[in-house]
Amino acid sequence: MHRFRTKYTSIRGFTSNVLIGAAALAYGAEPAYGHFSEGQLPFADSIKDVVERLPAALLEPASMTAGKIEWGKTNGERVASGETYYSRPG
């Protein structure tokens, strides 16, 4: 997931993906740093996956594992973002 820092707040997740997509369309080329990580699902496939898993996740929330998101700085230091992600074991 790309994250853009601004003076007042960060732009990340879906919003950053939309901005990258708009820039790629406007310039007619993907960004030099890459739009997606290696092995990352295309956005449409990610949405499909969420829609397919959502009913089960709502019925079985105890089966989800919570983890904290960290960001890497250029000097190798890790910083906790305060955000949480949820994943299903296995």
Looking at the 3D structure of the chain, how many domains does it have?
2
Same domain, 54 and 89: yes
Same domain, 35 and 67: no
Same domain, 82 and 60: yes
Same domain, 57 and 23: no
Global pTM exceeds 0.95: no
Q: DSSP readout, the chain?
A: --EEE-SS-EEETHHHHHHHHHHHHHHTS--TT-SS-TTPPPHHHHHHHHHHHHHHHHH-GGG-EEEEEEEE-TTS-EEEEEEEEEE---
* 9-48 pLDDT per residue, tens: 888 878 888 888 899 899 998 888 877 777 777 778 878 8
Residue with tokens 């708009």: 22
Same domain, 35 and 58: no
Same domain, 36 and 72: no
Domain ranges, residue 58: 49-90
Same domain, 63 and 34: no
Mean pLDDT of 60-76: 69
